[in-house]
Structure 1
Amino acid sequence: MVEISGVGVGSGVAHGPVALMAAPLEAPADAPSERTPDEEKAAVSAAVSAVAAELNARGERAGGAAQDVLEAQAMMAEDPTLAEAVDAKIDGGSTGEYAVHTAFAEFAAQLVELGGYLGERAADLADVAQRVIAHLRGVAAPGVPEPGHPFVLVARDLAPADTALLDLDQVLAVVTTDGGPTSHTAILAREKGIVAVVGTGELELADGQEVLVDAANDLVVAGPTDDQLAEADKRAAARAAAANAPITPGALADGTLVPLLANLGSPDGAAEAVELGAEGVGLFRTEFLFLSADEAPSVESQTESYRQLLEAFAGKKVVVRALDAGADKPLSFLTDADEENPALGRRGIRALQHRENVLRDQLTALAAADAATDADLWVMAPMVATVDETEYFTALAEELGLKTAGVMVEVPSSALLADDILRVADFASIGTNDLVQYTMAADRLLGSVAHLQSPWHPAALRLIRMVAEGGANNDKPVGVCGEAAADPLLAVVLVGLGVKTLSMSPSALADVRAELKRYTLADAERIAAAAIAAGNADGAKRAARAAA
Structure 2
Amino acid sequence: MSLSGVGVSPGRVSGPRVVVAADLPEPSSAPVPDALDVEAGKIGPAAAAVAAELSDRARSVSGDARSVLETTAAMASDPALIASAERLVRERSLPAPRAVWEAAGEFMTALRAAGGYMAERATDVADVRDRIVASLLGLAPPGVPELRSPSVLVARDLAPADTAGLDPDLVLALVTEEGGPTSHTAILARALGIPAVVACAGVLACDAPGLTVDGSAGEVTASDGVVRASARKSRPEWDGVGRLADGHRVKLLANVGSPADAHAAIAAGAEGIGLFRTEFCYLSAEEEPTEAAQREAYAAVLAPFAGRPVVVRTLDAGSDKPLAFLPMGAEPNPALGVRGLRIAFDRPELLDRQLSAITAAAADTGVELSVMAPMVATAAEAAWFAARARAAGIGRVGVMIEIPAAALCAEEILAEVDFVSLGTNDLAQYVFAADRQLGAVASLNDPHQKALLRLVGMVAAAGVEVGKPVGVCGEAAADPSLAPVLVGAGVTSLSMNAVALAGVGAALREVDLEACRALAP
Q: Distance in 1 between matches of 2:503 and 2:326?
A: 39
SS state of the match for residue 488, structure 1?
A: coil
Residue of structure 1 equivalent to 2:61: none
Q: Distance in 2 between matches of 1:132 and 1:310?
A: 30
Q: Contact (CA 8 Å) 2:191, 2:503: kept in 1 or not?
A: no
Residue of structure 1 equivalent to 2:243: 250
Question: Structure 1 residue 69: deviation in Å?
Answer: 9.8
Matched, 1:399 2:391: yes
Matched, 1:455 2:454: no
1:277 is aligned with what amino acid? Answer: G
SS state of the match for residue 255, structure 2?
A: strand
Question: Structure 1 residue 296: deviation in Å?
Answer: 2.3
Residue of structure 2 equivalent to 1:64: 71
Q: Distance in 1 between matches of 2:248 and 2:21?
A: 50
Q: Contact (CA 8 Å) 2:50, 2:76: kept in 1 or not?
A: no
1:249 is aligned with what amino acid? Answer: G
Residue of structure 2 equivalent to 1:145: 145
Q: Deviations over 1:446-491 (max 9, x none)?
A: 1121221122222111111111122122211001010001111211
SS state of the match for residue 372, structure 1?
A: helix
Matched, 1:517 2:509: yes
Q: Residues 199-210 of structure 1 correspond to what in structure 2 (within 5 A)?
A: 199-203=199-203, 204=206, 209=210
Matched, 1:232 2:231: yes
Matched, 1:305 2:287: no
Residue of structure 2 equivalent to 1:283: 275
Q: Distance in 2 between matches of 1:375 and 1:119?
A: 28
2:199 is aligned with what amino acid? Answer: G
Q: Distance in 2 between matches of 1:115 and 1:294?
A: 16
The gaps in structure 1 that reach 5 residues or longer are: 88-96, 530-548
Residue of structure 2 equivalent to 1:532: none
SS state of the match for residue 244, structure 1?
A: coil
Mark the CA change 1:119 to 1:304 in structure 2 (over 3 Å): closer, same or farther.
closer
Matched, 1:326 2:318: yes
Q: Residues 36-435 of structure 1 correspond to what in structure 2 (within 5 A)?
A: 40=31, 58=50, 61=55, 62-64=69-71, 140=140, 142-147=142-147, 152-158=152-158, 173-183=173-183, 185-186=185-186, 196-203=196-203, 204=206, 209=210, 215=215, 218=218, 229=229, 231-233=230-232, 236-237=233-234, 240=235, 243-244=236-237, 246-251=239-244, 253-334=245-326, 336-435=328-427
1:275 is aligned with what amino acid? Answer: A
Question: Structure 1 residue 179: deviation in Å?
Answer: 2.8
Q: Distance in 2 between matches of 1:248 and 1:464?
A: 24
Question: What's the TM-score, normalizing by structure 2?
Answer: 0.77
Q: Distance in 1 between matches of 2:129 and 2:425?
A: 30
Richer in helix (by share): 1
Q: Distance in 2 between matches of 1:71 and 1:189?
A: 27
Mark the CA change 1:20 to 1:368 in structure 2 (over 3 Å): closer, same or farther.
same
Question: Structure 1 residue 305: deviation in Å?
Answer: 3.3
Question: Structure 1 residue 290: deviation in Å?
Answer: 1.3
Question: Structure 1 residue 304: deviation in Å?
Answer: 2.7
Q: Contact (CA 8 Å) 2:9, 2:215: kept in 1 or not?
A: yes
Q: Contact (CA 8 Å) 2:47, 2:132: kept in 1 or not?
A: no
Q: Distance in 2 between matches of 1:358 and 1:282?
A: 23
Mark the CA change 1:23 to 1:288 in structure 2 (over 3 Å): closer, same or farther.
closer
Question: Structure 1 residue 197: deviation in Å?
Answer: 2.6
Question: Structure 1 residue 368: deviation in Å?
Answer: 1.6
Q: Distance in 2 between matches of 1:73 and 1:179?
A: 27
Residue of structure 1 equivalent to 2:518: 526
Q: Distance in 2 between matches of 1:285 and 1:436?
A: 19
What is the identity percentage for the equivalent residue pairs of Structure 1 and Structure 2? 47
Mark the CA change 1:427 to 1:65 in structure 2 (over 3 Å): closer, same or farther.
farther
Residue of structure 2 equivalent to 1:92: none
Mark the CA change 1:24 to 1:324 in structure 2 (over 3 Å): closer, same or farther.
closer
Larger radius of gyration: 1
SS state of the match for residue 179, structure 1?
A: coil
Q: Distance in 1 between matches of 2:327 and 2:188?
A: 28
Question: Structure 1 residue 49: deviation in Å?
Answer: 10
Q: Contact (CA 8 Å) 2:262, 2:302: kept in 1 or not?
A: no
Mark the CA change 1:48 to 1:412 in structure 2 (over 3 Å): closer, same or farther.
farther
Q: Contact (CA 8 Å) 1:73, 1:128: kept in 2 or not?
A: no
1:454 is aligned with what amino acid? Answer: D
Residue of structure 1 equivalent to 2:6: 7
Q: Contact (CA 8 Å) 2:72, 2:161: kept in 1 or not?
A: no
Q: Contact (CA 8 Å) 2:370, 2:395: kept in 1 or not?
A: yes
For these two proteins, the number of residue pairs brought into alignment is 496
Question: Structure 1 residue 375: deviation in Å?
Answer: 2.3
Q: Deviations over 1:342-395 (max 9, x none)?
A: 211110000133322221121111212233343211110011111121011110
Question: Structure 1 residue 437: deviation in Å?
Answer: 0.4
Mark the CA change 1:173 to 1:79 in structure 2 (over 3 Å): closer, same or farther.
farther
Q: Distance in 2 between matches of 1:260 and 1:383?
A: 23
Residue of structure 2 equivalent to 1:94: none
Matched, 1:505 2:504: no
Matched, 1:441 2:433: yes
The answer to which structure, 1 or 2, has the higher relative contact order (CA under 8 A, 6+ apart) is 2
Residue of structure 1 equivalent to 2:476: 484
